[in-house]
Amino acid sequence: MPASSPYDPIAGLYHQNWDDWYLPQAGVALESLFFSRLKGGAHVLDVCCGCGHVTRELVARGYQVTGVDASSELIAQAKRDLPAAKFVVADVRQFQLTRSFDGALSTFDSLNHILELRELEASFRNVHSALLAGAPFVFDMNSEEAYRMDWQEWSTRVAPHSVSLVRGRFDPVTRQVATEIVWFQRLPDGRWERRDSIVPQRCYQDHEIRTALEQAGFRQVSSRSAAQAGVTGEIGYGRVFWSALA
């Protein structure tokens, strides 16, 4: 069982605010890079699946899905929403699965949460070990361009029973951003509960990602910007989609 994830305290907020934000914008890229390459019934590994915001689409397309994520709270939510899929609490840097999958997908800049290059390479090796020869691995990551956006000011979202505040602080030396999240949730008895979390991420240079993939055993590595992949929404800013074969 991995150590507690920074998403555990705010899993409810994540599900509430971001569950259906990514896929409507990124769907066109995933269609061309991943969905079109696998037939229904294929075994798909959803890496860092969160609460299942993309897993839901995989299940709807008839794939047999296994989702892995380090947050036990996000996995619990995914299990409640998607009983047709299998979910495992596991850290991508360390996990081992016995099934050989026909493809693997990791979305919503999940792999940016890995803060060391050697751990990113270890993650790629673990995914490679879970895939059949020739199986596609598709993922997206934020570049430094995305993290240099002005996140210093608080972004506030007010809902009937919750208030959330989010801001990020980017360090150009370490290439890390710390996203500070404060969540006030109204409880059934009318009281308000506060939860705080700091979620760290790191951006990598393209040559670092490519080398890590190749050292993990992947081939035919390619990348394209979100715009080149057809993404037109705000999530496309500074986002890069990667594709490789096991």
pLDDT digits (tens, 9 = 90+) for 90-141: 999 999 887 799 999 999 999 999 999 999 999 999 999 999 999 999 999 9
For residue 22, what are its two tokens? 């990514």
Is the Cβ–Cβ distance between 77 and 11 less than 8 Å? yes
Residue 1, pLDDT above cutoff 80: no
> Do the Cβ atoms of 170 and 176 come closer than 8 Å?
yes
125-143 CB burial, b ≥16 within 10 A, e <16: bbbbebbeeebbbbbbbbb
The pLDDT, as a whole number, for residue 15 is: 86
- Contact predicate 36/93, CB 8 Å: no
C-alpha span between 140 and 109 (Å, rounded):
5
Provide the pLDDT for residue 58: 98
Contact 235, 25 (CB under 8 A): yes
Between CA 60 and CA 79 the distance in angstroms is 15
* Residues paired with residue 165 on neighbouring β-strands, in sequence order: 156, 182
CATH 3.40.50.150 corresponds to the domain 8-142+204-245? yes
Common-topology check for domains 8-142+204-245 and 146-201? no
Please name which of 142, 141, 200, 197 lies closest in space to residue 170, comparing C-alpha atoms. 200
Q: Of the ranges 2-6, 34-38, 194-198, 213-217, which one carries the lowest mean pLDDT score?
A: 2-6
Per-residue pLDDT of 174-201, as tens digits, reads 999 999 999 999 999 999 999 999 999 9
Provide the b/e sequence for 50-74 (b: ≥16 CB within 10 Å): bbbbbbbbbbeeebbbbbbbbbebb
> Does residue 3 have a pLDDT over 70?
no
Residue-level pLDDT at 98: 79
Q: Is the pTM here over 0.85, yes or no?
A: yes
Reported as a single tens digit per residue, the pLDDT across 7-60 is: 999 999 888 877 778 999 999 999 999 999 999 999 999 999 999 999 999 999
Mean pLDDT of 135-156: 88
- Would you kindly state where each structural domain of the chain is located, as residue ranges? 8-142+204-245, 146-201
CATH superfamily of 146-201: S-adenosyl-L-methionine-dependent methyltransferases (2.20.25.110)
3-state secondary structure the chain: CCCCCCCHHHHHHHHHHHCCCCHHHHHHHHHHHCHHHCCCCCEEEEECCCCCCCHHHHHHCCCEEEEEECCHHHHHHHHHHCCCCEEEECCCCCCCCCCCECEEEECCCHHHHCCCHHHHHHHHHHHHHHECCCCEEEEEEECHHHHCCCCCCCEEEEECCEEEEEEEEEECCCCEEEEEEEEEEECCCCCEEEEEEEEEEECCCHHHHHHHHHHCCCEEEEEEECCCCCCCCHHHCCEEEEEEEC
